[in-house]
Amino acid sequence: MRVEIAGVSVAFSGREVLNVASALFVDGGICGIVGPSGSGKSSLLSVIAGLRAPDTGTVVFSQDGQRRKPSRDDVAWVPQGAYLLPERSVADNVAIGALAEGVELAAAMERAEAALEQVGMRDRVAATASVLSGGETQRVALARAICMSRPIIIADEPTASLDREAAQNVADVLGRLQDERLIIVATHDPLLMEQCDTLLDLGAR
């Protein structure tokens, strides 16, 4: 899977907040988007995810020689802050990713357990989400995205406010996913930047 960006700009009330002449995101490595606060990282992620249309330019998804417009159905979004359902179990929070795609309950629970295994949280499947640490919460949010069978995973600052060990755990999970999915992250975190194979710097314009 590849995402090709050409001449993409976004403006709010006439103020341009993003302008990318060209960029290419290709699977097989973590693709990082970096730049100071307000440089448009989250705005670019929204455009790639098909959550908003750019004011100019084009975004093209290309897979197995087929080129198409961005579709929300291709993207699993890991929001900054994770947004787990606090009173539900870890398993429920992850299975919801598959349930949202119409997978029936037993199969969704199986997928959830497999996804939790991938993020090293299999033993916390029955825990209530509200008791998790920040790093565990972020890994569960990643498992929820893994549980959706989508070719692109987009994570907005997935290591923000985590200590180094927790951030490294999240980076390791993302690194292991890079062969099966296209991974795009926005980040300020030098530790995660180091693990990225490509970096698009929105501050350098």
CA atoms within 13 A on the CB side of 154: 21
Within its chain, how far is the Cα of 67 from the centroid?
21
Query: Which of the ranges 35-43, 65-73, 112-120, 191-199 carries the binding residues for ligand ATP, by CB under 6 A?
Result: 35-43
Residue among 82 and 90 whose Cβ is closer to Mg ion: 82
Query: DSSP state, 89?
Result: B
Q: Which helix (H) or strand (E) holds 48?
A: helix 41-48
Distance CA(46)–CA(140), nearest Å, equals 21
Q: Residue 43 touches which of ligand ATP, Mg ion, none (CB < 5 to 8 A by kind)? A: ligand ATP
For Mg ion, the binding residues in 73-102 under the rule CB under 5 A are none
Size of the site for ligand ATP (CB under 6 A): 10
- Selected from 39, 42, 159, 195, the binder of Mg ion by CB under 5 A is 42
Least separation in angstroms between residue 40's CB and ligand ATP is 4
Identity of the residue, 115 or 145, whose beta carbon is nearer to Mg ion in the bound complex: 145
Q: Tell me which residues in 117-146 interact with Mg ion (CB under 5 A).
A: none
Task: Note whether 83 binds ligand ATP by CB under 6 A.
Answer: no
Residue type at 89 in one-letter notation: S
Q: What is the distance, to the nearest Å, from the Cα of residue 173 to the centroid of all Cα atoms in its chain?
A: 12
Three-class HEC string of 110-130: HHHHHHHHHCCCHHHCCCEHH
- CA-based nearest residue to 193, from 41, 15, 20: 41
Closer by beta carbon to ligand ATP, 40 or else 135: 40
Distance CA(6)–CA(64), nearest Å, equals 20
Choose which of 2, 7, 12, 53 interacts with ligand ATP (CB under 6 A): 12
Does the protein bind ligand ATP through residue 53 (CB under 6 A)? no
Number of residues that bind Mg ion (CB under 5 A): 2
Binding site for Mg ion (CB under 5 A): 41-42
Binding site for ligand ATP (CB under 6 A): 12, 17, 35, 37-43
